[in-house]
Amino acid sequence: MTAPAHVIKATSIDDLGVIVVDLPYGTYLIDGEVVSNQGFGSYNNPRQVSVKNVDDIRIITKSKIITHYVDSKENMINPEQYEEDRQTLLKNAVWDEDSEEYNWNTLEDEFAYRKYMQQWKPVHKELTEYSEPLLTDKTHIRKDTGNPYIVSGFMTGQANTPLYSYSRTSAMTDMLKKKFESLGMEFKEGVSYSATEGKKVWSNSNHSHLEYVTAFGKYVFNKQVLSKMKGEFKGDLEYLTKIYEEDKKWLDEYIQTLYNLHFRNEKASGVLLSEVSAAVKQCITYVNTIEVKAKSETSKRSALNVLNKALELVNKEVLEK
């Protein structure tokens, strides 16, 4: 047996119990069967096949050897004898590098050599060799991520590596709809922002994403907020799930705050609003002390501290349902 020629990539789809390997150009023994990737264009294109035993994939190589030589009378000589006789005849010739031919001492010597080569014909035997089991670089993925907005690039065939992708744009659109539904707000197409004042109604145009969502008597999202609601992300499942959960939490709190303030949730009292207003004014005072060229880190920290306190108040009172 020969040593493994290379490491092959394997992808375990854990929730399906399936392992898929990328086979480079060549012929392989997989699960007791011969699998080939030697068709047109296969040299630069791995073939993906399902494998049961990923620890016993072997390369199959075939070669031919000369077992003996025979003449027209079925006489036989072994390869060693054939080569010895041929070299003896070649002692009467000199190899010419320029013409890439032998120059013979006499015509008789050349004739004797040609006659010998015509007399003995090689008999071949095909040998099949199997490598040691190949090493595999295995990646674990899931077909069902439990999240319709996070899919494996491997499963869709849209990626060369089995990373996951998260569509924030699609997720935000659906999460917004579900949030409005949970608040008992009705969707009506083509309603202007002014027509939603004091009503549990929301709307959106049919030619945009979320730029023109209306509710609470205004456009719900400004340009700064919209930038947080778009994009495609790639990475492992844990990383993308974390982004999704953060997006969901942010959108829920954002819409809930607008809802509570617009419909004057009891927790969003005048006292609370005055406290928030005072905190914002205090922040403005701190920010105004910052020089344009020489920024004051102390003032920045003070402003951030006040903002954090204001945020705690909002989370505790305004967001409470």
Look at 47 and 111; give whichever has higher pLDDT.
111
* pLDDT level of residue 38 (50, 70, 90 thresholds): confident
Asked whether the beta carbons of 143 and 152 are under 8 A apart, the reply is: yes
Q: C-alpha distances in angstroms, 69 versus 64, 75, 127, 292?
A: 14, 8, 18, 94
Look at 304 and 89; give whichever has higher pLDDT.
89
Q: What is the CA radius of gyration of the chain?
A: 39
- The stretch 216-243 carries a mean pLDDT of 89
The backbone torsions φ and ψ at residue 101, rounded to the nearest 5 degrees and listed phi first, read: -145, 160
Q: Which amino acid is at 253?
A: E
**Closest by Cα among 75, 29, 82 to 51:** 29
Would you give the distance in Å from CA 111 to the centre of its chain? 67
Q: What pLDDT shows up at residue 175?
A: 95
Q: How many CA atoms lie within 13 A of 318 on its CB side?
A: 25
* Nearby residues of 185 by Cβ (< 8 Å), 6 or more positions away: 200, 201, 202, 215, 259
E strand or H helix that includes residue 151: strand 150-152
What is the value of pTM for the model shown? 0.56
Q: Which amino acid is at 83?
A: E
Share of the chain above pLDDT 70, in %: 84
Q: What pLDDT shows up at residue 3?
A: 46
Look at 160 and 292; give whichever has higher pLDDT.
160
Asked whether the beta carbons of 159 and 9 are under 8 A apart, the reply is: no
- The stretch 68-83 carries a mean pLDDT of 95
Neighbours of 204 (CB within 10 A): 22
Share of the chain above pLDDT 90, in %: 50
